[in-house]
Chains A and B, each alone.
Chain A
Amino acid sequence: MNRSKWINVRSELFASGMGVAALVILTVFTLGAIFAFLTGRDPNTMDAMVRLTPPGAAHWFGTDDYGRDYLTRALYGGRVSLLVGFASMIIATGIGVLIGVVSGYFGGWLDSLLMRMIDVITSIPSFLILLLLSVFLKPSVGNIILIIALLMWMNIARIIRAETLTLKEREYVLYAKASGQSARGIIWRHILPGLVPTIIVGATNNIASAIMMESSLSFLGFGVQPPNATWGSMLNSAQGYIAQAPYLALFPGLLILLTVLSFNVLGDILRVGFEPKLNRR
């Protein structure tokens, strides 16, 4: 991982309007989620007097069926969605990198075993497992993070394994081996640094799919439980008021779309930036 690559990534990022837009959107959403309390309202305080108020000066995003301020709920909801996305990405990437590197570096029966295992897990529709686990375990934010992470690490493990296989044939790795360095030392000093671009790209794409999974789960009613909001569960309740208050469905969906879109765009830009020759768009 050398400096020129980072410079390349940076110029790639700022060269396209999409990249800048994605960064701005994600920064605004993250800040909004962190500083959600600044709206001065409580996301769960109900007020029957202002039920289903359309967006206006007092309530920018309107109010929901319980008269709760929708913007505040959306910001707090974003907190959960982004948290789930980041946390499960970190866990999934951790597991994926560990298994991928071990499998790719040591090869042999261990590799076959791990890869067969991944084949089996991925041959069961993951969304079904997701539903099942969220029923078995009590749906708390922590559990949801864990469940999503457990379903996402396989992809990154496969990519990391493939990359490790090519890295371990490089001259400097062969040299390190020949000069008697321990496997652990080689992995730390030579393999992992070479994997950084792959990991970053994979992680970025993983956040996008984690956020998507969480919102699907919450939308179906198996995610974070009421009265706490996430974008998915907000859409779930909005469904019942679609005729009277379509804006209730509009905002959370738009937030999910923009967030996931931004992460996907960033992932692609990073991939091109790290491997300009291979992946030029």
Chain B
Amino acid sequence: MRQLIVRRLLQTVPMLFFVSVVCFAMIKLAPGDPVLSFVTPNMHADDIERIRHNLGLDKPAYVQYFLWLKEIVQGDFGYSLVNHQPVLGQILDRLPATAGLMGSAIALAVLLAIPLGLIAGANRNRWADKLINLVAYIGISVPLFWLAILLMYLFAIKLHLLPSMGMRTIGVESAWDVVKHGILPCMVLAFGFLASYVRYIRSSTIGQLKEEYVQIQYAFGSKKSTILFRHVLKHVLLPVITLLGMSMGDLVAGAIVTETVFSWPGIGSLGMTAVKGMDYPLIMGITLFSSLMLILGNLIADILYSFVDPRIKLKG
């Protein structure tokens, strides 16, 4: 068990290293000379050279990399080219909005997907299954931004039930206000995940119900519902942990799109602003940050899984 965790942690180290190299290479390869953003029209060539030297940009690339890595490790992600604010600070400022949105979307998706997937799997090819399956198919095929626009049109413009933009009404300081702003983005983000989780849970429910131990439960007088909730549920839920870890990447993509459509002030919309403004340090910071989260998410999912699944303890 402990061995397993240690091994898994050790695997993470080279991955982090490579990700950081890729991020660094990205800034280096980016078109445009970072020095130019410090240059004013009346500077001399040797002034420019001095700036280059001060920034450490005249050293060989690998030296620059280690200097950069040292700063990253110390929490210094550099400064935005646009508003000259520290990159990490900006990311951390936006983190609560994104974490709240992602967390509630994931929670909503999982909570709905479990019963829906079980119902569909247990009633295979009946109308309930066909309906759930169709909705799930649409869920994995619908462009989230389009869904966002449609919901916005329906709930904000036609029905005036919910606000369409931002996270707060200006001048209003209440949690309820934030929740109201969050409902639509959360629904949109949750829908895509809901669909893929439902499909997954459905097919593994179908698989489990064919297992011999389930047939045997019938022979011992179990009800179908008892079998589903006491026996199948746990089997089906275990892989969902891994699935959650794996969906972090899609979550980032979903967050970028959803936050942009709803002007939700999270890391996703920050990333969009950074990309539009060619703000390389900020782009790099966000890429590095979200990769870290991704690797961490997978790591936590794996470790959690090995805690919950009794079969892994033996091998660990």
When distances are taken between beta carbons in the complex, the residues of chain B under 8 Å from A128 are 252-253, 256, 271, 286-287, 290
Q: Does the CB pair B141–A261 fall under 8 Å?
A: yes
- CB pair B19 A123 closer than 8 Å: yes
Main secondary structure of the interface of B (DSSP, over half): helix
**Which of chain A's residues has its CB closest to B272's CB?**
A220
B41 in the interface, Cβ–Cβ < 8 Å?
no
> Which of chain B's residues have a CB closer than 8 A to the CB of A252?
146
Which of A131, A216, A246 is the one whose CB lies under 8 Å from B271?
A131
Query: Per-position contact with B for A112-135: 1 when CB-CB < 8 Å, else 0?
Result: 000010011011111111011001
**Please, which residues of chain A bring their CB within 8 A of the CB of B256?**
127-128, 131, 220
Question: Interface residue count for A (Cβ, 8 Å)?
Answer: 41
Contact A216 B145 (CB under 8 A): yes
Chain B stretch 2-32: residues in CB contact (< 8 A) with chain A:
14-15, 18-19, 22-23, 26, 29-31
With A124-B291, A128-B252 in contact, is A219–B257 under 8 Å at CB?
A: yes
Please tell me if the beta carbons of A120 and B152 are within 8 angstroms of each other in the complex.
Answer: no
Residues of B within 8 A of A129 (CB): 287
User: B17-55, CB under 8 A of A: which get 1 and which 0?
Assistant: 011001100100111000000000000000000000000
* A265 and B143 contact, Cβ closer than 8 Å, known pairs A124-B287, A253-B150: no
Q: A131-B271, A216-B257, A220-B257 are in contact. Are A264 and B137 (CB under 8 A)?
A: yes
- The reply to whether A257 and B146 form a contact with Cβ atoms under 8 Å apart is yes
Interface string of A228-264 (1 = CB under 8 A from B): 0000100100110011001001101100110011001
Most A CB within 10 A of own CB, among B30, B31, B291: B291
State the interface size on chain B (CB cutoff 8 A): 47
CA distance A131 to B277 in the complex (A): 12
The 6 sampled A-B contact pairs (Cβ below 8 Å) are A119-B15, A120-B22, A129-B287, A220-B260, A253-B146, A257-B143
Chain A residues packing against B (C-beta within 8 Å): 116, 119-120, 122-129, 131-132, 135-136, 208, 212, 215-216, 219-222, 232, 235, 238-239, 242-243, 246, 249-250, 252-253, 256-257, 260-261, 264-265, 281
In the A-B complex, the 9 residue pairs with the smallest Cβ-Cβ separation, listed nearest first, are A127-B253, A253-B146, A125-B252, A261-B141, A260-B141, A120-B18, A124-B291, A125-B249, A249-B149
